[in-house]
Structure 1
């Protein structure tokens, strides 16, 4: 979640209530259906790594000299993306797999932190001061042929501002259940970091594993698109309104540089000029075409139903730090035929963690963000048949007969996950030590709860009440 502190001066903090009511919900009955056939069969690699029926253990071991470099890199530039080398171990169902010479670095925006000590301090083997932080593991950074179950990288993300340990996991799971195959995979793990030659191994607690949007992500979806297209990451300000190529480039984050374009190209530099032209033309066409011309163009250029399903889930989980509301947090991909695919990303501040709108639980799903500044969604929904389909998708998500967002079934999924992780949340950082039913304390709707059954504060119930019928 980006640019949070820029907007935080606008936030009115609302205190949290004193109770954490738990409702034991019944198991999902066998007759519960899915509204659509799942179009996406996970690869063997995805099924092995991102498995919410398991809680694998991950240990990253970093030599003392490398760990001290890691800390000094942060001091030189907190936003750096410099890797240090280490070892990786993955334990699942009693089987251990290890890889040597992996790359390990910090990641995140407002969640980025120094994982040990204070500025200028090196590793303290006697009394280490650990802090939660998010990391990227690169299996091929120092060994170009090395993969882990066909994956190049793995994101390890701490549950910043989510005391429920569930919001982003739930969101990505809902995307998958609803057939939005463009969403990354995600699941839980336990993380330990060992500084070789230093203190004893530090248990960092329960973390979230997330599938990076990269070449492996594309390879995992070859049944839907080719892998010879152009992948972009959209950073804050990505409205898809201004076709200027000066907003497009290749990110360059080093110890001395923080260059991040609004549209960050993830392909090779040799393809950049052509990719810029393609993106600029798409933005121009989206903004200039109207009426039937726009409908004909967008129906050929996008899988519109997939886009509508994506945004139905997006609005349902209350993702306000997104394209439509905050011009942020998405990737997109043009396949070899030039077809545009919207890729949702970064769903930690959802399910009642609200900001930048009065109340993300009951915000109008047809006016989620600024329709003038974010033309893609607004123009698609201005077409009556697409608007009708979008509303249908919203209502399908709420429908009691589907195992999707209906309150009892949603609560049961979250409870099952929490039951599996609760014994492992306490950790050596001393942070985020228990599961609590509260949203982030900086949000503007601190009353929201995911447990319980009150129509006044239960997020699932309040969200269902906001969905239009037609």
Structure 2
């Protein structure tokens, strides 16, 4: 018979063996579970989604500009929401609208909800959609106009639905749908953006889309003809600059003036490299711009400025913007432009954005700036400080002449406007009450197109007169 201590030792060894066996079993189970989980994850991307293909739903084959931004046809998309998702969108919009005071709109962005998205017989799954915009959103909403600008993010809900991880629309992750607010021609956004692009000023790609939305009851409502805009920090940076490694900023607020009063880096929202707390390039541009060398040694100031900022690119932008008169941007508004620190030449580049208020001398108390820009004060130093340099004004006038003589030419623009009119007329004039910005129906559309033609002649003559002074 075993003694007590012998039994105690025996039981301890037996317990240890059992425990080791259990741990080994648990470890084995864990490894099996881990392998199964990895196998499931490997299969989850696109699995069970009937229309998912590498070409249409990923960016592995590049970006399909020809498909998404055709220039010879009007595409159609269908957005299908559940009744609950649509109600959530409307409730969120009403809540944000209650925060608006006059023309001081809330800075809060509307919430995304998930929708089913259809194009050319194919479905994209759980796509994020929300309202977007400032005056184009809130003014239309206030008038109970259902044709509101929209924003799409194709992988917004990938954390909730792993099968749509890195979902893309022919390579595009983000897209914006402009409602052509306050534009009877429905051409201001597109034709202005095209002109900037043609003249070599960094801008996004655009195309026309008919948009249909189902609020959850199976009825497809024609929301109208929209202008689809590429999103700057999604694909445009790679396409135009060859990379998106540099800092991209969306300025908005008092600091976006670059004036000596109220400047703050908080007004430069990062759209790339968000996790890196580095705004030193913007600070450097501000410091160089406001250096005392500007008044004591202008040539040294110019050299320093040109080492951090694409001055010539900005002067080209001014030439186009002042000719077509887009008042809703820098020198009037502290938004509607982007900045990109281009790693290829280490210069900050100006990128244009949002042109639905182009081709007009102003609105309300806001006037587009004149061709000589003499009224622009020191609170907008990117213009007023450059204007004070004679050589920069010579360059600016050279760009004005080039643009006026070779790009914004009345006979050429007549052909352009006639072409777009022929393409979109049916889509534009089919818009219905409650979902349109068009006033006067077909005749209103024709009048809007003619006004653009007449405006080109007026501005061409104005530029010629200015240059001949």
**TM-score, with normalisation over the residues of structure 1?**
0.73
Q: How does 1:118-137 map to 2 (within 5 A)?
A: 131-137=146-152
Shift of 1:432: 3.0
Shift of 1:359: 6.2
User: Could you say what secondary structure the match of 2:307 adopts?
Assistant: helix
- Is 1:405 the equivalent of 2:405? no
- Is 1:436 the equivalent of 2:445? yes
Alignment-derived partner of residue 284 in structure 1: 287
Quote the RMSD (CA, aligned, Å). 2.9
User: Could you say what secondary structure the match of 1:214 adopts?
Assistant: helix
CA distance, structure 1, for counterparts of residue 436 and residue 348 of structure 2: 41
CA contact (8 A) 2:250 2:339 kept: yes
- Is 1:190 the equivalent of 2:196? no
CA contact (8 A) 2:137 2:149 kept: yes
CA distance, structure 2, for counterparts of residue 466 and residue 47 of structure 1: 40
CA distance, structure 1, for counterparts of residue 349 and residue 252 of structure 2: 16
Residues 131, 405 of structure 1: alpha-carbon distance in 2 compared, 3 angstrom cutoff: same
CA distance, structure 2, for counterparts of residue 398 and residue 244 of structure 1: 36
Shift of 1:264: 2.0
CA distance, structure 2, for counterparts of residue 194 and residue 309 of structure 1: 43
- Is 1:157 the equivalent of 2:178? yes
Shift of 1:222: 3.8
CA contact (8 A) 1:101 1:142 kept: yes
CA distance, structure 2, for counterparts of residue 358 and residue 265 of structure 1: 28
- Is 1:329 the equivalent of 2:336? yes
Alignment-derived partner of residue 111 in structure 2: 82
- Is 1:314 the equivalent of 2:334? no
Shift of 1:64: 1.5
Q: How does 1:161-310 map to 2 (within 5 A)?
A: 161-180=182-201, 182-196=202-216, 198-223=217-242, 226-237=243-254, 238-242=256-260, 247-249=264-266, 262-272=267-277, 274-275=278-279, 277-288=280-291, 289-290=293-294, 291-310=298-317
Shift of 1:178: 1.0
CA distance, structure 2, for counterparts of residue 438 and residue 287 of structure 1: 46
Mean alpha-carbon deviation: is it higher for 421-430 or for 306-315? 421-430
CA contact (8 A) 1:231 1:265 kept: yes
CA distance, structure 2, for counterparts of residue 89 and residue 405 of structure 1: 37
User: Could you say what secondary structure the match of 1:192 adopts?
Assistant: strand
**TM-score, with normalisation over the residues of structure 2?**
0.73
CA radius of gyration, larger in = 2
Deviation per residue, 1:37-70 (Å, 9 max, x gap) = xxxxxx8533332222121001111111111111
Alignment match of 1:370 (pick from 376, 383, 404): 376
Shift of 1:113: 4.5
Alignment-derived partner of residue 379 in structure 1: 385
Alignment-derived partner of residue 350 in structure 1: 358
Shift of 1:355: 3.2
Gaps of 5+ in 1: 1-42, 119-128, 250-261, 440-447
Ranked by relative contact order (alpha carbons within 8 Å, sequence separation 6 or more), the top structure is 1
Shift of 1:390: 1.2
- Is 1:393 the equivalent of 2:418? no
CA contact (8 A) 1:309 1:393 kept: yes
CA distance, structure 2, for counterparts of residue 438 and residue 248 of structure 1: 44
